[in-house]
Structure 1
Amino acid sequence: MARKPARRYNRTVDFPRALREHRARRRLSQLDLALRAGTTQRHLSFIESGRSAPGRNMVVRLADSMDLPLRERNELLLRAGYAPAHPETPLDGPALAPVRTALAHILRGHLPYPALVVDGGGGLIAANTAFDLLAEGAAPELLGPGANVYRLALHPLGIAPRVLNLAEWGRHVLARLGHLAELRDELAGYVPAPDPSGTTLGFAVPLHLRSPYGELRLMTTVTSFATAVDVTLSELKLEAFLPADPATADALLEAAAASTE
């Protein structure tokens, strides 16, 4: 998979605006960010107005201080006229072979419970065989490697018709799409208004799903590579489903046994 060429930006226009937008999204004042980055509010004001061009180290410090995702750190450096700091290695390349092996091991080890791996945009990278039970009946165009799992979850041709608490579950999914505004706006139209009598566990919103093995109630956990310094690796998410009650655990065991017959 070839790496996309780096985009070129107008240093005098794009960087100040991008910096202001990142700071505003994180609800930081100029003083807050200046203190975190070890500079003065006056200097930061000059940078944001375009009156002062920051050095590379200052851009890195500002990005670190706002705890930007690695992709956004690279883009901020590019906008300032500097080379990216973090590599973006193809997932199917030899350098990330240990990662692929580890993820495959985890997916198998989570059986008979469903688990999947997605990229930063929600594209499906891999899933274990138990995930087939969740996706059963979905339109073919919403399935397979690269398909968007958030669209699969909420689209009327996806899992949504079988989700018994779609209003509550749908809002849980939408809340994870803050960095994907266009997709979030699309999928929001599929989510009904909240039901005051919706099912919750008190501590989590379960996926309440109709299946051939009865109604399933599943909790989810999301795991990432916390120490990643590569863009591709930093954006990978492992989502694992766990039974929220004994009946669901039994149903998943039954489904796993049937799939091996």
Structure 2
Amino acid sequence: MTTATSAGVGELLRGWRTRRRISQLELALRADSSSRHISFIETGRSRPSQEMVLRLADHLEVPMRERNALLLAAGYAPLYPERSVDDPSMGTLREGMERLLTGYEPYPALVMNGTYEVQAANRGIAMLMEGVARHLLVPPLNAMRITLHPEGMAPRIRNFREWRAHLLDQMDRQLSLMRSPALRAVYEEVSAYPLPESGGRESAMAGSHTPFALPMMIEHGGRVLSFISTIATFNTPMDVTVSELAIETFIPADRETAAALGELITP
């Protein structure tokens, strides 16, 4: 739920402008306003209209959850709803995501929310999680926790140090662009996990050829499977939950992995 903040809308907008490294003049030009008016809003001398709040939020690329916080701070009602993926009104979206994940098999794919909690996954993901400690599989599953925990996938990831650095850097970039105490808590937890006692030191760059993207190299059934990942989000979301959903798909990084998946996951 979006809650009111003690900070005024001007202070919040100034914070987002500073975070985006945009001057008052540049923001004014983008929003078809004046630097004087932007200054008055930020210092509390002028109360922006709802339209102006949304316009500034758009040019500052403020996440949808935080746009509701801006509206509340300016004295307006939140504009964007936040519904659970399990809400009946989300039925069509949920069914569409499940069809997408199933259609992607045998390649792994999953849907996560803004704190990396798994909302849906296909059989390819289930295959990769074999051997993960049972306590990590108690809902809500968290993809970062499962991947980086010493009792999760970490011991089987051959280039774990590289993959861990990639994931932590990804979370760090997200935190630099948005305020999310929940995501910050996940980051602090998983970044403090100890490294596996054995393995995880192999480099993806040590092979016979340079990979075209950093792969995740993971042991499974006596083989090493190699994947690169892509992340997709929804265009023009009008719901906070949907705005934070991400679909991650894993593509085989070599022909051997593609062939192995066809054998491991049958229709």
- In structure 1, the partner of 2:223 is 214
Looking at structure 2, the residues matched to 64 and 234 of structure 1 have their Cα atoms a distance apart, in angstroms, of 14
Q: What's the CA shift string for 1:224-253, capped at 9, x where partnerless?
A: 111221111121111111111111112212
User: Is the 2:8–2:44 contact (alpha carbons within 8 Å) kept by the matching residues of 1?
Assistant: no
User: Is the 2:64–2:240 contact (alpha carbons within 8 Å) kept by the matching residues of 1?
Assistant: yes
Looking at structure 2, the residues matched to 191 and 44 of structure 1 have their Cα atoms a distance apart, in angstroms, of 47
- In structure 1, the partner of 2:165 is 171
Instruction: Compute the displacement of 1:45 (Å).
Output: 1.5
Instruction: Compute the displacement of 1:145 (Å).
Output: 4.0
Question: What pairs up with 1:195-214 in 2 under 5 angstroms?
Answer: 198-200=203-205, 201-214=210-223
- In structure 1, the partner of 2:189 is 186
Give 3-state SS (helix, strand or coil) of 1:239's partner.
Answer: strand
- Of stretches 46-55 and 120-129 in structure 1, the one that deviates more from structure 2 is 46-55
- In structure 1, the partner of 2:258 is 249
Instruction: Compute the displacement of 1:161 (Å).
Output: 1.2
Amino acid at match of 2:191: A
Asked whether 1:107 is paired with 2:101, we answer: yes
- In structure 2, the partner of 1:67 is 61
- In structure 1, the partner of 2:44 is 50
- In structure 1, the partner of 2:84 is 90
Looking at structure 1, the residues matched to 53 and 34 of structure 2 have their Cα atoms a distance apart, in angstroms, of 14
**In the comparison of the two structures, how many residue pairs are matched?**
250
User: Is the 1:116–1:124 contact (alpha carbons within 8 Å) kept by the matching residues of 2?
Assistant: yes
Instruction: Compute the displacement of 1:197 (Å).
Output: 7.6
Give 3-state SS (helix, strand or coil) of 2:258's partner.
Answer: helix
Looking at structure 2, the residues matched to 117 and 233 of structure 1 have their Cα atoms a distance apart, in angstroms, of 11
Instruction: Compute the displacement of 1:144 (Å).
Output: 4.7
Pick aligned residue for 1:7 from 3, 6, 9: 3
- In structure 2, the partner of 1:119 is 113
User: Is the 1:206–1:244 contact (alpha carbons within 8 Å) kept by the matching residues of 2?
Assistant: yes
Q: What's the CA shift string for 1:21-75, capped at 9, x where partnerless?
A: 2112212122222211121112111221222221211111110111222111111
- The structure-2 alpha-carbon separation of the partners of 1:149 and 1:197, relative to structure 1 and needing over 3 Å to count, comes to closer
Amino acid at match of 1:28: I
Q: What's the CA shift string for 1:66-96, capped at 9, x where partnerless?
A: 1222111111111222111212223212221
Identity of aligned residues (%): 43
- TM-score calculated relative to the size of structure 2: 0.86
Instruction: Compute the displacement of 1:130 (Å).
Output: 1.6
- In structure 1, the partner of 2:152 is 158
- TM-score calculated relative to the size of structure 1: 0.88
Instruction: Compute the displacement of 1:118 (Å).
Output: 0.7
Amino acid at match of 1:48: E
User: Is the 1:167–1:191 contact (alpha carbons within 8 Å) kept by the matching residues of 2?
Assistant: no
User: Is the 2:106–2:124 contact (alpha carbons within 8 Å) kept by the matching residues of 1?
Assistant: yes
**Structure 2: segments with no counterpart, 5+ residues:** 176-182
Q: What's the CA shift string for 1:90-113, capped at 9, x where partnerless?
A: 321222111111111011111111
User: Is the 2:159–2:202 contact (alpha carbons within 8 Å) kept by the matching residues of 1?
Assistant: no
Looking at structure 2, the residues matched to 167 and 42 of structure 1 have their Cα atoms a distance apart, in angstroms, of 50
- The structure-2 alpha-carbon separation of the partners of 1:30 and 1:88, relative to structure 1 and needing over 3 Å to count, comes to same
- In structure 1, the partner of 2:135 is 141
User: Is the 1:162–1:210 contact (alpha carbons within 8 Å) kept by the matching residues of 2?
Assistant: yes
User: Is the 2:116–2:144 contact (alpha carbons within 8 Å) kept by the matching residues of 1?
Assistant: yes
Instruction: Compute the displacement of 1:15 (Å).
Output: 2.1
Give 3-state SS (helix, strand or coil) of 1:82's partner.
Answer: coil
Runs of 4+ residues deviating >6 angstroms: none
**Structure 1: segments with no counterpart, 5+ residues:** none
- The structure-2 alpha-carbon separation of the partners of 1:9 and 1:181, relative to structure 1 and needing over 3 Å to count, comes to closer
User: Is the 2:57–2:67 contact (alpha carbons within 8 Å) kept by the matching residues of 1?
Assistant: yes
User: Is the 1:115–1:127 contact (alpha carbons within 8 Å) kept by the matching residues of 2?
Assistant: yes
